[in-house]
Amino acid sequence: MKRMLAMLALACVALAAMGAALPAPVPDRAAPAGAGAAAPKRPLRDPFARPVPPPAAASDTAELPPPPPPPPLHLRAVILNGARSIANIDGDIVGAGEQARDYTVIRIDARGVLVRRAGTPQLLTINEKDKQ
């Protein structure tokens, strides 16, 4: 028991000595001790916030070129089976009423495939040059 009390007293003395060796706390930088007027405080910056992009000039937005036209569609095959007819358009197997990429199939018949692309109807047919 005496030994435990001696160790506890020694630990207290060591902690007190370490506390005396710590530096004094630093005063607040925003209000220096001898200053009569308080310095203006800058807001802290969030290090994780993304930087705000600079505003775009009006001439930059007016000079944008129009988007390029979409590539032409090629009808590769048609299988006629009444309401369940299907077509192969650029490798996409589609039926009437289905959407693929940037077009909607309206009708599939013996003349070809009628699609709507960018609001414009377009009739696709199988040409001899496409079969090569």
Secondary structure of residue 80 in the 3-state scheme: coil
Tokens matching residue 5: 């009390």
pLDDT tens-digit profile of 13-34?
Answer: 777 766 655 566 666 555 555 5
Q: Would you list the domain boundaries of the chain?
A: 75-131
Confidence of residue 132 (pLDDT cuts 50, 70, 90): very low
Residue 81: CB atoms within 10 Å: 9
pLDDT tens-digit profile of 76-109?
Answer: 999 999 989 999 999 999 999 999 888 999 999 9
